[in-house]
A and B are shown apart, each in its own frame.
Chain A
């Protein structure tokens, strides 16, 4: 699904924020990405959601070397990736419903189906009463759920989440993790960047740890 070989990334002329990264995410796998602040988690995720290209090394996604993918082929590839951003990146002028509907509209889905899918998912994440609410009127936790709903609405093949449970209480966090588990069971490859050690311990999925730009793999007891 995803393979990094000797990948390095630097911003402008600065030092490398990612060094000699080797990564292999098998189809249908579930991983956590951990590491201290500034370790390069967001940079690694930005490479995964094709926001930037590596300074060196080879990245293969969905069987294609991203260095050789023509620009016009990128949208189709990106539609297979769902992303939950740490700062949510919801569009302030759109309602919760329209924010979640956006990936479907981008993909050209029929409007009647868009409404049906979005209402169902937002109700499932507990925001059925806030369909028309603008992000500014929602709490941090509610915004996070809208962001997650937006990331999973297209049932992506690869789901990337940056601290997806950082702003919600335990009950909602467990519910959201069940949503990720459900997607995982349906075949989605999941990578969650988190600081929540308890969550990583409880979920028992393989952990990838970034430290100083280096990536290492930590296997938990009973992990898949």
Chain B
């Protein structure tokens, strides 16, 4: 009994989808020539523009989230220790592991639990990092530049950051410990803002598309007023009429969604080609990975679904006011 009912329900769904979405000619035979009226609103193009914006926003959100994750992975699990330069000391003589102050810091680190390894950043690397500001002329060698130690934490280890900071400062006065938390927190906050903004764009785009469907549907109701009256007089239920509008909106929504996605893909390819010369570390990767494709692939069916729901609801509400 249940199986028979399910089959019947499935057959009904299949018939409705076939008549309303897949075969416009069949839908037209249901009474309304919705594909043929000359309404000034090209709903498929409007949906295409909205789908394009939504796809770009989704790609932006995914790229931002991925970049934030990458940054976070790169920075958590590590510490940077900054040993201040000695005032009045000869800069060229500093920056070796043999420096007494550096040794004192390494001694503290060796006694500390949860530290995997620590490396003194070579002076040449510091010079590289400062080159954008100080140039390549060896100026760094003549300046009192602090020394840096990169510390990698054990994956399962726990380090008492505040305590370590105190012990380091006791070993060498003025030593600073940076656990990057402030930087990470800022980055994560920024990334969350970016993702939130992208989702807000998707929401606004969806609402705009829905508004366009409402306007197009109301125009259709006005254009086909007589035919709708006739169908009512024949005993058509509101749902019978609403299904025809919903079917037409679904076709246009699907077409617009596919078109918008295609344009977005072309735009991303063009962006990728144009930005090849830029350092990949600077720009987030805008071409989606396989795992990120799903939200994009969902854009056309989501556009179609939104169009179906909005059109059907609009018609049902409008017809409720009739006799």
By a beta-carbon cutoff of 8 Å, the part of chain A in contact with chain B is 49-53, 71-72, 74-81, 83, 89, 91-94, 98, 101-103, 105-107
Contacts and interface: CB of A to CB of B under 8 A. Distances in A.
B320 A71 contact: yes
Interface stretch (B143-151, B234-242, B256-264): B234-242
Contacts of A98: 29
Nearest to B37: A93
A106 B231 contact: yes
Contacts of A71: 320
B233 A91 contact: no
Q: How large is the interface on B (under 10, 10 to 19, 20 to 34, 35 or more residues)?
A: 20 to 34
Contacts of A105: 29-31
B160 interface: no
Contacts of A81: 233
Given A51-B229, A106-B240, A91 B33 contact: yes
Contacts of B237: 72, 75
A102 B323 CA distance: 21
A74 B232 CA distance: 9
B235 A106 contact: yes
B28 A106 contact: no
Nearest to B320: A71
A47 to B, nearest CB: 11
A102 B31 contact: yes
Contact of B233 (A72, A78, A92, A107): A78
Nearest to B240: A106
B227 A91 contact: yes
Interface centre among A76, A103, A105 (most CB of B within 10 A): A105
B213 to A, nearest CB: 23
Nearest to B322: A71
Given A71-B320, A93-B33, A106 B230 contact: no
Given A51-B229, A91-B33, 9 more contacts: A50-B233, A51-B323, A53-B323, A72-B237, A74-B232, A75-B232, A93-B36, A94-B29, A105-B29
B226 interface: yes
Contacts of A92: 33
Interface of B: 28-31, 33, 36, 226-227, 229-237, 240, 320, 323
Contacts of B240: 106
Contact of A106 (B36, B226, B236): B236
8 contacts: A80-B235, A92-B33, A93-B33, A103-B234, A105-B30, A105-B31, A106-B31, A106-B236
Given A51-B229, A106-B240, A91 B234 contact: no
A71 B230 CA distance: 16
B320 to A, nearest CB: 7
Contacts of A50: 233, 323
B31 A83 contact: no
Nearest to A49: B233
A143 B30 CA distance: 19
B233 A102 contact: no
A109 to B, nearest CB: 12
A78 B235 contact: yes
Contact of B234 (A53, A79, A93): A79
A52 B323 contact: yes
A89 B226 contact: yes
Given A79-B234, A83-B233, A91 B323 contact: no
A80 B235 CA distance: 8
Nearest to B31: A102
A101 B30 CA distance: 9
A102 B227 CA distance: 11
A92 B33 CA distance: 9
Contacts of B229: 51
B234 A106 contact: yes
Contacts of A72: 237
Interface centre among B31, B227, B230, B235 (most CB of A within 10 A): B235
A106 B243 CA distance: 12
